[in-house]
Amino acid sequence: MARPVKLRCVSWWPRISFFKPVGVPLNILEKVNLSIEEMEAIRLKDVEGLEQEECARRMRISRATFHRVLGMGREKIADALIYGKAIQIGGGDFGLPQQRFRCNNGGHEWDVPFEVIARGGPLACPKCFSDDVQPAPLPPSDFQGRGRGRKFHGGRL
C-alpha cells in the first residue's frame, strides 16, 4: 500500500486557471493539467529565483520532493508549449498557510494554520467545540477546486 501524499503548503493563489493557444478551438485541443503545487514550485524557483532548499522550506516538503514537483510542472508546461496543448491549473495535494473554517452550528469563523491541517487531526469550533465545521469559501478567482481528494467530513480531514 502506498504512503499517503503529504500536503504541500502553497502561499500563492492563481487568478487565471486556463491557458490555450490563440486561434485553435478549445474542443480540438488536448489539455495538460498543472497542479497548484507544481505551479507554486515553478513560481518560487523560476519567478522568485529562490534556491531549491528555500523553496522546499516554504512549501514544507523535502528538497527531493520539491525537485520532483518542480520537474513534473516544467515537463507539463514544455509539453503544452511544444505540442500546442491547453494548460489547466487546478487540483493537487496542497494547503494554504492558513485556512479559514466556519462552524455550521453557530457560524463562527476562525483561522487554522497549515501544520494543523497537514496533521489531519480533528477540527472543532473554538467557541462551541462542535466538530461540525467546514472550510470557509475561498477568495474569488477563476480557480476550480481546492485539492484532490481532500474533503471534510464531520470536522476531519
Is 102 inside any structural domain? no
Residue-level pLDDT at 129:
83
Domain of residue 25, CATH code: 1.10.10
User: For residues 127 and 157, what is the distance between their CA atoms, to the nearest angstrom?
Assistant: 20
Residue-level pLDDT at 110:
81
Is 138 inside any structural domain? no
What is the count of structural domains for the chain?
1
User: For residues 99 and 111, what is the distance between their CA atoms, to the nearest angstrom?
Assistant: 6
Residue-level pLDDT at 122:
66
Residue-level pLDDT at 138:
61
Is 41 inside any structural domain? yes
Estimate to the nearest angstrom the gap between the alpha carbon of 20 and the chain centroid: 21
* R_g of the chain computed on alpha carbons: 17
Is 24 inside any structural domain? yes
Residue-level pLDDT at 154:
33
Place of cell 497537514: 118
Is 117 inside any structural domain? no
Is 46 inside any structural domain? yes
What does pLDDT average to in each consecutive run of 10 residues of the chain (157 residues)? 80 88 93 96 96 95 96 98 96 81 85 76 80 74 40 32
Residue-level pLDDT at 121:
65
**Residue 31: which domain range?**
8-89
DSSP string, 75-141: HHHHHHHHHT-EEEE---SEE-SEEEEEETTT--EEEEEHHHHHHT-----TTT--S-EEEPPPPSS
- In eight-state DSSP terms, residue 38 is H
Is 76 inside any structural domain? yes
CB 45 within 8 A of CB 70: yes
Is 42 inside any structural domain? yes
Residue 139 backbone phi and psi in degrees, to 5:
-60, 150
